[in-house]
Amino acid sequence: MRLELMQNIGQRQEQRMKLAPRMIQYMEILQLPLVALQNRIEQELQENIALEEDDVRNDFEQTQTSDDSKGDDFETDDAASDDFDRIYEQFQDLVEAGQRPSGNRLDSESDRKHDAMQNMISRPRSLQEHLKEQFVFFDCPDIIHKFAIYIIEHLDNDGYLKEKTLDDLVRTFGQPISPRDAETALSFVQKLDPSGVGARDLKECLLIQLKTDHAHYDVLHTLISDYLEEIQQNHRPLVQRKTGYSLETINTAIEELRQFRFRPGAIFSEQQAPQVIPDVVVERDDEGRYVARLTKEHIPNLRISQFYQKQLGEQTDRNTKEYIQRKIMSARWLIEAIEQRQNTLKRVAQSIIDHQQSFLEKSSSSIEPLKMQQIADRVGVHVTTVSRAVGDKWIQCSRGIFPIKKFFGGGTVNTNGETVSWDAVRQELTDLVENEDKSCPLSDDQLARKLSESGRPVSRRTITKYREKMGIPTKRQRKQY
């Protein structure tokens, strides 16, 4: 009896060891967003001779490998396959505390090459490239030209020279340059488009943009040079007393100041934001039910090469045969991992939209509190599986495209004992601020009281935290004079 028990334990351990690489690959594939999955498949198609596209079938929910395509000499562990899902969930507990497994050196090298090719084909121009292209039109000594290019290379994404001072750059430039020539080089950079680049702080950025032909040049120059902090804090009556300008003049100048670029280089970093392709699309079926559909048309259909399956049966050289076996095994694991990803993602997405009917039918403020553990319990998977399934993935519905993680979040209990999502609280906070009397804005205490009166008790500290997180100015800053 004891011997039989030990044999069973040994078989289980061996089975888990066999499944471990498959589990790792499954976890990697599961957490890949759509574009990254496309890249991974393309990489595998290039590197695995046994993997090829199938142009006939167009549905990943169909079985990708039939019994007659496995090859006579390629055996699979059916018991291990049957136990995959169950053992995978146990395996999750073991790897949850560790780091995400990385690919091998060849994978990393291939990723780098692929990224480089993608960049050459479609990468938009950077701020630095845009500025360097303009600089060829400036006629200046070679040393100043080189140092100006050096300055451009050290601008941050907003177009500022903040991380290093001009003196720092002079020391690290590698060639001798006088402080005067360094200042001249910086002045050339500050003449480039977009206006305001090369500034060392916000004041300098705004002054660079201020031209003498501005209608309120004198007023703006005074406000930017001497009262920028007071303006940011909305201390307009104080500025009025100190400058002697009328409140109307100050208000007009500030409105004009709002047209300036506070982050002149940001437009280039915004242009480089990746295009979002939804992994899941929500549609209504004939019965009016919301259904999760995966965007499978972006994923090529895969199959194991029949040629190499035939070669496996005919091959007599041991090393060649083992090589083909490994490639076929790798191909089958990838296909199965993608199938598992699609199946898990669809089940998770369907469970989420079943829970969030109010959001789909009413408004964003109707989103329901939801925890990943709830979805894990409904789908019957580990909570980390849900986390990997929804991470960096997007869902498209009639209200737009949203990160799937948007549908998860806690809430607060209202006076009726119902749980209200924090999104609903934030939406009501936004509505209160938008509709307040701007000549006498609501304080955080008043906002908290109004939310409590509407049946949503929230502390003043919570209001302050969410107001700051949402970018809503303070009461003083919202006041209009």
Distance CA(115)–CA(275), nearest Å, equals 15
Q: Please work out, in degrees rounded to the nearest 5, the angle formed at the alpha carbon of residue 196 by the alpha carbons of 473 and 180.
A: 130
pLDDT of the residue at 158: 92
pLDDT of the residue at 1: 53
Closest among 471, 468, 467, 437 to 451, alpha carbons compared? 467
The sign of the CA dihedral 449, 450, 455, 459 is: negative
Distance CA(180)–CA(323), nearest Å, equals 67
Distance CA(224)–CA(203), nearest Å, equals 6
> What is the b/e burial string over 437-458, where b = at least 16 CB atoms within 10 angstroms of the residue's CB?
eeeebbebebbbbbbeeeebbb
pLDDT of the residue at 209: 95
One-letter amino acid of 20: A
pLDDT of the residue at 144: 92
Distance CA(127)–CA(158), nearest Å, equals 9
Strand partners, 51: 304
Q: Please work out, in degrees rounded to the nearest 5, the angle formed at the alpha carbon of residue 45 by the alpha carbons of 65 and 111.
A: 135
C-alpha 288: how far from chain center:
32
Q: Which residue has the tokens 């007023």?
A: 219
243's CB contacts (< 8 A; 6+ apart) are 222, 223, 227, 250
Strand partners, 293: 281
> What is the b/e burial string over 382-409, where b = at least 16 CB atoms within 10 angstroms of the residue's CB?
bbbbbbbbbeebbbbbeeeebbbebbbe
pLDDT of the residue at 68: 39
The helix/strand/coil state of 418 is coil
First-to-last C-alpha distance (Å) of the chain? 89
Q: Which residue has the tokens 């919570």?
A: 462
CB–CB of 73/327 below 8 Å?
no
One-letter amino acid of 46: Q
- The domain segmentation of the chain, as residue ranges, is 1-65+274-409, 127-268, 411-478
pLDDT of the residue at 390: 92
What is the value of pTM for the model shown?
A: 0.55
Closest among 138, 225, 224, 141 to 189, alpha carbons compared? 138
- Over the Cα atoms of the chain, what is R_g? 31
pLDDT in tens, 40-99: 999 999 999 999 998 754 444 444 333 433 433 333 344 444 455 555 665 555 555 464
pLDDT of the residue at 80: 44
Distance CA(413)–CA(419), nearest Å, equals 4
How many other CB atoms are there within 10 angstroms of residue 185's CB atom? Answer: 29
Residues lower than pLDDT 50 in the chain: 57-82, 97, 99-122
H or E element in which residue 84 lies: helix 84-95
pLDDT of the residue at 59: 45
CB–CB of 346/390 below 8 Å?
no
Please tell me the CATH superfamily of domain 411-478, with its number: Homeodomain-like (1.10.10.60)
Q: Helices (H), strands (E): how many in the chain? A: 24, 8
One-letter amino acid of 380: G
